[in-house]
Amino acid sequence: MKIGFIGLGIMGKPMSKNLLKAGYNLVISSSKPDTNREMQEHGTEVVDTYIELAAKSDVIITMLPNSPEVKEVILAMGGLIQGAKPGSTVIDMSSIAPIASQEIGKELKEKDIGFLDAPVSGGEPKAIDGTISVMAGGDEEVFNKCLPIMQAMAGSVVKTGEVGSGNSTKLANQIIVALNIAAVSEALVLTEKMGVDNQLVYDAIRGGLAGSNVLDAKAPKMLDRNFDPGFKIDLHLKDLNNVMETSTDIDAPLPLTASIRETLKTLSVNGNGEDDHAAILKYYEKLTNVRI
């Protein structure tokens, strides 16, 4: 089986390398010469066009920034849909709007091309060690066929329903993660202002009810002031924009999400968009005039 991979960024590159480690043959198309050279050194075939990539692939994975980019790569002139073989499958592992996933799935189905919307959670560290969580939407038969491929990159793969449900689940995930990081930030600036050692605060609460994967992943970065991006603020803002767009479409008020989206907007405008989302801390530091 040959797998095509498009979108070799912070998440996509380590995910593709895990496919190679699992023994899959890989073909890529990237606009970055350095990425092409690096992946060729790992045994990957490089082609020039999406049509050529699709024609060579049994399964095609896309890992792109947002809905417009995914639609462009899959559906536009010169896109995957023009080269993909009947019976092949596209797995979009990007985080996009659920309605966009449904539109893409419908057009691919008309060409007898399977489709899964399968966004991921876990950030760069889990992409590197192959333990991301995948939430997938699509037909049962297509999901089962592609499950071993997704498991080669992930610690958890869950089918959440039909096409669109994967990204609906990812929206829920991004709400919870953003609000958790905000809560950790508020707590740490409070204890900092009270003169308590925040390393000891973290050590004390991580084993109790306040403990979480978010706390363990982000509090150490905050304490070390390490905001190198594992998942950028601008990308999280993009996801929350998709949340709010969807909430408007289905008439579901989300006041907490609306609030944290404004926080992320402020950080982005102030030049922190390329920071890891642990830098939500900076917003609360400015409010309280403290520095962790």
What's the pLDDT tens digit per position in 49-60?
Answer: 999 999 999 999
pLDDT at 230 over 90: no
pLDDT at 282 over 90: yes
Q: Nearest-CA neighbor of 153 among 178, 119, 177? A: 119
pLDDT digits 0-9 by tens, 104-140: 999 999 999 999 999 999 989 999 999 999 999 999 9
**Residues belonging to the active site:** 170
Q: For the chain, which residues make up each domain, given as ranges? A: 2-162, 168-288
Q: In angstroms, rounded to a whole number, what is the distance separating the alpha carbons of residues 170 and 173?
A: 5
Token output for 255: 């006041």
CA dihedral 109, 114, 119, 124 (to 10 degrees): -140
Q: Looking at the whole model, is its pTM more than 0.85?
A: yes
- Homologous superfamily assigned to 2-162: NAD(P)-binding Rossmann-like Domain (3.40.50.720)
User: Does 2-162 match 168-288 in CATH topology?
Assistant: no
Q: What percentage of the chain reaches a pLDDT higher than 90?
A: 98
pLDDT digits 0-9 by tens, 133-168: 999 999 999 999 999 999 999 999 999 999 999 999
pLDDT digits 0-9 by tens, 167-181: 999 999 999 999 999
Pure H helices in the chain: 12-21, 33-41, 50-56, 67-75, 98-110, 123-129, 140-151, 165-193, 198-205, 213-224, 233-249, 255-267, 280-288
Q: Which CATH number fits domain 168-288: 1.10.1040.10, 3.55.10.10, 3.40.50.2300, 3.40.50.300?
A: 1.10.1040.10
For all residues of the chain together, what is the average pLDDT?
97
pLDDT digits 0-9 by tens, 5-43: 999 999 999 999 999 999 999 999 998 999 999 999 999
Average pLDDT over residues 89-118: 97
